[in-house]
Amino acid sequence: MTLKTNAAIDARRIAATPRGIGIGFPIYAERALNAELWDVEGRRYIDFGSGIAVLNTGHRHPRVVEAIRAQLDRFTHTAYQVVPYESVVSLAERLNRLTPGTHAKKTAFFTTGAEAVENAIKIARAATRRPGVIALGGGFHGRTFMGMALTGKVVPYKTGFGPFPGSIFHVPAPIALHGVSVDDSLRAIEQLFKADIEPEQVAAIILEPVQGEGGFYAAPPEFMRALRRICDRHGILLIADEIQTGFGRTGKWFAMDHYDVVPDLMTMAKSLAGGTPLSAVCGRAEIMDAPAPGGLGGTYAANALAIASAHAVLDVIEEEKLCERAQQLGDRLKARLEALRAKVPQICDVRGLGAMVAVEFAGADGAPDPAFTKEVQTRARDAGLLLLTCGVHANVVRFLFPLTIEDAVLEEGLDILAAALQA
Ligand SMILES: Cc1ncc(COP(=O)(O)O)c(C=O)c1O
């Protein structure tokens, strides 16, 4: 029998799988529960990453496990497009009600976040009969070709993979911390309309209300309002990519609930389905109906197990009041980080909407400090805490612990974090 050690499996991984699939931590998961994870060597970790924002309801929430188990006993797959099932219709009805705006909506299900983004663009182009799409620098929208084209970060996502689909344009994201104002971003859009594409040829503007991979920067409300005005003036659709921000993370069901702006289309994935692959595009009914029958779908789209899981996730968020809990957890975390500022001069910013909190690091000269960020992540990992980084300069630690995390586990994790920051 081969010994199951992290090092032994990692050696096999390197031989058997390509390096392009980068690994955050070479520890191999054995089991997990809520905010804790154990590796094959029996070592316990506190998981502040939640499988990249997928587990707002924690690892193996009993309600989610039970829903999947019950569905397993009925059927796993029919291909929804061949033989449909009612749970998809009822999940669409729930999402149509939960998402921002009181207008008539429809929802289509897919498998991955990138697929939701692809389909949102397909739908926007079919509805407007225009090709252009505007996205933001630093934004992340996935690893498929349209996802890559929309993503505003070259290394590592786009390196070596071009050419990308045409008619995609980027403007700088308004991030005051990095010297880009709302006016700068809006001027860049106006310039785009002069230099690159007339607004009448633009189908959509897509943005994450809070950039995820890009560094947890929330779009300023006046920027969101200005985008809505530009869209309305020119018949452009506003797409909110809520794949990382959705399902309670920001203290409300969706990050767009923090704005007095309603998007025309919204993409969702990740915490929608508690660890099973499911994504969705929800939007104005008449826009969603633009593609002809057969134009949308996929063999695994609306997988029965994932749909069952998503229903349970929505129940848990409602019943356990996870939006309120996200706000409380985020406030606690921000207070801890703010208190550490005096002792950790590398902390240049603490920010967050609800529990979507991040801490950013810079050196004495004010330049981004990715080396310190990596050090903090490594020290935390060695002490049993899994942290994710993000940011165009890889100088941000982002917090994505389950919103169901037990108070004691959170405190234990925060103590490890504090020690890692001050070591
Ligand atoms: C905002 C956003 N959009 C799209 C994606 C792509 O999702 P997936 O990795 O499921 O394809 C991600 C993934 O991190 C994301 O954060």
The set of catalytic residues is 140, 241, 270
For 291-329, the pLDDT digits (tens) are: 999 999 999 999 999 999 999 999 999 999 999 999 999
Other CB atoms within a 10 A radius of the CB of residue 320 amount to 16
Tally of domains in the chain: 2
Q: What percentage of the chain has pLDDT greater than the value 90?
A: 99
* 405 falls within a domain: yes
Nearest-atom number in ligand 1 for the CA of 211 is: 1
Look at residue 342 in the predicted model and tell me its pLDDT.
Answer: 95
Q: What percentage of the chain has pLDDT greater than the value 70?
A: 99
Q: What DSSP line would sit under 72-93, residue for residue? A: HTT-S---TTTS--HHHHHHHH
Question: What's the chain's average pLDDT?
Answer: 97
Sequence-distant (6+) residues with CB within 8 A of 126 are: 290, 291, 295
Cβ burial, residue 191 (10 Å; 0-12/13-18/19+): exposed
Q: Give yes or no: residues 290 and 361 share one domain.
A: no
Mean pLDDT of 256-261: 98
Q: Give yes or no: residues 248 and 345 share one domain.
A: no
Q: Give yes or no: residues 144 and 248 share one domain.
A: yes
Q: Give yes or no: residues 223 and 159 share one domain.
A: yes
**Residue with CA nearest ligand 1 atom 8:** 113
Does residue 2 carry a pLDDT above 60? no
Out of 56, 133, 140, mutate this one to test ligand 1's pocket (max ligand atoms within 8 Å of CB): namely 140
The residue among 295, 319, 343 that closes a domain is: 319
Full domain range(s) for residue 308:
65-319
Q: Give yes or no: residues 178 and 190 share one domain.
A: yes
| Model confidence pTM above 0.95 | yes
Does residue 1 carry a pLDDT above 80? no
Q: Give yes or no: residues 53 and 85 share one domain.
A: no
Does residue 3 carry a pLDDT above 90? no
**Backbone angle region of 20, left / alpha / beta, with phi > 0 → left and psi within -120 to 50 → alpha:** alpha
Out of 52, 110, 115, 141, mutate this one to test ligand 1's pocket (max ligand atoms within 8 Å of CB): namely 141
Q: Give yes or no: residues 56 and 33 share one domain.
A: yes
Q: Give yes or no: residues 70 and 30 share one domain.
A: no
Q: Give yes or no: residues 288 and 335 share one domain.
A: no
For 178-223, the pLDDT digits (tens) are: 999 999 999 999 999 999 999 999 999 999 999 999 999 999 999 9
Q: Which of 57, 58, 54, 33 is nearest to 45 (CA)?
A: 33
